[in-house]
Structure 1
Amino acid sequence: MQKSLFTLGIVALMLLSFNYSQAKTNGNSSANPAETVSSNDHATVKLTKALFLEKVWDYENSPKEWKFKGDKPALIDFYADWCGPCRTAAPILEEIAGEFKEKVVIYKVDTMVETELKAIFGVQGIPAFLYIPMQGKPTMTSGIARSKEDTKKMFITNIEKLLLANN
C-alpha cells in the first residue's frame, strides 16, 4: 500500500513538473527586453538575412565590395537574449532610435538566429555594434559603458562622430 502511494506521488509530481515546463516553453513567460521591438516609428528594426540583403548590403551579389544600400546611416546591434549587457543596451537603443529617427536607422541582429550575419562581420563577443555611414566603410565596436547614462552618451557620441560628422 505504501509503495503504491509513493509511486502515485512520484508520477503526480512528474506530471506537474512536465506541465509547468510546457507552459513556460509555450510563451507564457514575459517578453525579454532584447527581443522587444516596437511597432511605431521610434523603434529599432529587427534584421533577418533577407532584410539585411535588401536594406543594408547584398553580400551574395557583391561579396568583395561594400555597397551600403540604405538611405540613412545605420547602427546595427548584434545581440543575444541571454546576454545581460545586450538587455541593458536594448531600451537605450530604442530611446536613441526615437531621438535620431530622421537621421539614423537602428537595426538589431539576434546572433543566435542570424548566425550567417554574425559570421560575415566576425562577431565573436556581444554586444557588438556596427556603425554604417553613408560614405566609406563601417566601423565595429563592442561592449557598453558601466552605467546606463554613460552607455547612452557612448552611443550618441559614436553616432555623431562615426555617422553624422560627414553628412
Structure 2
Amino acid sequence: MRKNVSAIFLTAALLFAGTSFTNANEPSKGESPENGVITLDKSAFIQKVFDYENNQDWDYKGNKPAIVDFYADWCGPCRKLSPLLEEIQQEYNGKLQVYKVDTEKSRQLSAAFGIRSLPTIVFIPMDGEPRAVLGYVPKEQLTKMITDILKVSK
C-alpha cells in the first residue's frame, strides 16, 4: 500500500529528528546533472522529482537516486552543508543527483512537503520511499546514508 507523500516526509523527518544528527555557492538551473547540483523551482521539481499537484502517492520521476536539500540563504547550517553536497555530487560522478530547493523562493513547494526545519535533506532511492533528515549532517554521515538509503557507492 502506498502512503500519502506529505505523510512520508513528515514521518521520516520525525523519525530522524530523534537521531544523532545535529541541527553557497548556487549553481545555475541549466547545469548538467553530471556536472553539478541543480537548483529546482516548483515547475522543475514537478518535472524532475515528483508531481505533487496531480499525485498523492509517491512516484519518483528521476532515473538515478537523488538528494534534495531544502534550504534558505539566511540559514547558517544550510550554508555549511552546501559545499559538502557539491563535493558529493562530484565524488559520486553521475551515480546520484543532488538538487536544491530555496524555501524562500519556493514557499508553496516547501509547504506542500511540510518543510519546517532547515536544512531538510531528503534522500530519494530508486525503489522505496524518500527519507528526510533535519539539520546539518557531517560528510561522513551523509556518505553512510547515501550507501544505506540510496544504495549507491563511489
TM-score by length of 2: 0.77
Distance in 1 between the 2:60 and 2:69 partners? 17
Equivalent residue for 2:11?
A: none
Are the counterparts in 2 of residues 131 and 138 from structure 1 also a CA contact under 8 Å? yes
Higher helix share: 1
Q: Which runs of 4+ in 1 moved over 6 A?
A: none
The alignment partner of 2:109 has SS state of helix
Equivalent residue for 1:67?
A: 59
Instruction: Return the structure number with greater relative CO, CA threshold 8 A, min gap 6.
Output: 2
89, 100, 103: which one aligns with 1:111:
103
Equivalent residue for 1:159?
A: 146
Equivalent residue for 1:25?
A: none
- Measured on the aligned residues, the alpha-carbon RMSD in Å equals 1.5
Shift of 1:59: 1.3
What does residue range 109-148 of structure 1 map to in structure 2 within 5 Å? 109-145=101-137
Distance in 2 between the 1:143 and 1:65 partners? 26
Are the counterparts in 1 of residues 38 and 98 from structure 2 also a CA contact under 8 Å? yes
The alignment partner of 1:52 has SS state of helix
69, 84, 99: which one aligns with 1:77:
69
- The AA in structure 2 aligned to 1:112 is E
The alignment partner of 2:69 has SS state of strand
Q: Percent identity?
A: 42
Equivalent residue for 1:21?
A: none
Equivalent residue for 1:87?
A: 79
Higher-Rg member (1/2): 1
Equivalent residue for 1:27?
A: none
Shift of 1:100: 1.3
1:125-146 C-alpha deviation (Å, 9 max, x unpaired): 101101011111100101124x
Gaps of 5+ in 1: 1-32, 146-150
Equivalent residue for 1:58?
A: 51
Distance in 2 between the 1:159 and 1:42 partners? 19
